[in-house]
Amino acid sequence: MNNSRRRRAGRDLPMNAEINVTSLIDVAFTLLVIFIITAPMLQGGLEVQLPRGQIQPITAQDDPFIVAVDESGIVYVGETPVSAEEFASSFPQLFRAAGAQTIYVKGDEAAIYGDMFGVLAIVARTAQEEGVRWALVGEPEPRR
């Protein structure tokens, strides 16, 4: 008899078909906060000290093709460092594969002129061959 009472008591209880999503929402909000904090750090590009000048701001396209030269003369395609020889031989193919319409060149203000000139010559020749634009990136002078 004891068994039948337990069975009946179990049948009398209503079924609860609700899903508790409180912990799922907590995890989702935690991930959202993490992404909000880390997203600005993930934006690409090598940090270089850009020279200042009287320039107009550029409007970047969705996926700009950036070449940078740091103060020690190391050339970066995107965020990947390459030697001057590798840059000279592979840049045209890399640019064609990217399918970008503009090449942006960033140079540290302390970069050696010879290193920058070599990069600019290759970029200008590639841009002319591909029929695309290229631009130097600088820092606007502060307003007075």
Question: How many domains does the chain fold into?
Answer: 2
Is 85 in the same domain as 115?
yes
pLDDT at 60: 57
Alpha-carbon distance 75 to 93, whole Å?
Answer: 16
- What is the CATH classification number for the domain harbouring 94? 3.30.420.270
Examine the domain organization and report whether 37 and 56 are in the same domain: no
> Is residue 94 domain-shared with residue 127, that is, in the same domain?
yes
Residue 73 falls inside a structural domain? yes
Amino acid 57: pLDDT: 59
Q: Are 18 and 61 part of one and the same domain?
A: no
Q: Is 97 within the bounds of a domain?
A: yes
114 and 77 in one domain? yes
H/E/C letters for each residue in the chain? Answer: CHHHHHHHHHHHCCCCCCCCCHHHHHHHHHHHHHHHHHHHHHCCCCCCCCCEECCCCCCCCCCCEEEEECCCCCEEECCEEECHHHHHHHHHHHHHHHCCCEEEEEECCCCCHHHHHHHHHHHHHHHHHHCCEEEEECEECCCC
User: Residue 82 domain-assigned?
Assistant: yes
Q: Is pLDDT at 135 greater than 70 in this prediction?
A: yes
Look at residue 27 and tell me if it is in a domain. Answer: yes
24 — pLDDT class (breaks 50, 70, 90): confident
Range of the structural domain that residue 23 is part of: 2-42
Cα–Cα nearest to 74, from 123, 127, 112:
112
Regarding whether 66 and 11 lie in a shared domain, the answer is: no
Q: Is the pLDDT of residue 54 over 70?
A: no
Note whether 63 and 31 are same-domain residues: no
Q: What is the pLDDT of residue 112?
A: 84
Is the same domain home to 22 and 86?
A: no
